[in-house]
Chain A
Amino acid sequence: MRLMLALIAGAVMAAGATAPRARPSDPRGDRQRPAYAPGEVPAELAPAVGRAEQALQTLQTALAGRLREELSRNGPAAAVKVCREEARAITARVAKEQGIDIGRTSHRLRNPGNAARPWAEPFVLEAAGRKAAEVTARVVDLGDRVGVLRPIGTAEMCTRCHGQEEAVRPAIGAILDAAYPEDHAIGFAVGDLRGWMWAEAPKR
Chain B
Amino acid sequence: MTRAAKGAGAVLAAAAVVWLAWWLFPGDERRIRTLLHELARELTVATGGEEPLARAARAARVGQHLSPGVRIEGAGTAQVLAGRDAVVGLLATGPPAAGVVTVELRELDIEVAADGLSATVRAVARVSRRDRPDAPPVAEDWPLELALEKTDGEWFVARVVAVETAAGPPASNQLDRSNREVMHVRRQAPRHETRG
Contact = CB atoms under 8 A, between A and B. Distances in A.
B28 interface: no
Interface in B18-37: none
A7 B72 contact: yes
Contact of B92 (A5, A14, A46): A46
A51 B59 CA distance: 9
A41 interface: yes
A6 B77 CA distance: 15
Contacts of A14: 94-95
Given A5-B127, A13-B94, A53-B57, A44 B89 contact: yes
A74 interface: no
A44 B86 CA distance: 7
B196 interface: no
B100 to A, nearest CB: 9
B163 to A, nearest CB: 9
A16 B54 CA distance: 22
Contacts of A46: 56, 59, 88-89, 91-93
A10 B127 contact: yes
B160 interface: yes
A10 B137 CA distance: 13
**Interface footprint category on A:** 35 or more
B122 interface: no
B53 A16 contact: no
A78 interface: no
Given A15-B90, A41-B92, A44-B85, A9 B103 contact: yes
Contact of A4 (B54, B72, B92): B72
Given A19-B95, A49-B53, A50-B56, A9 B72 contact: no
- The winner among A3, A44, A49 for most chain B CB atoms within 10 A is A3
Given A3-B79, A47-B85, A148-B53, A11 B162 contact: no
Contacts of A51: 60
Contacts of B93: 18-19, 41-43, 46
A8 B91 contact: yes
20 contacts: A4-B74, A6-B162, A7-B72, A9-B43, A9-B127, A10-B127, A11-B59, A12-B95, A16-B79, A16-B81, A18-B86, A38-B52, A41-B93, A43-B94, A46-B59, A46-B88, A47-B85, A47-B89, A47-B92, A49-B60
Q: Which 5 A-B pairs have the closest CB atoms?
A: A50-B60, A6-B142, A9-B43, A43-B89, A10-B101
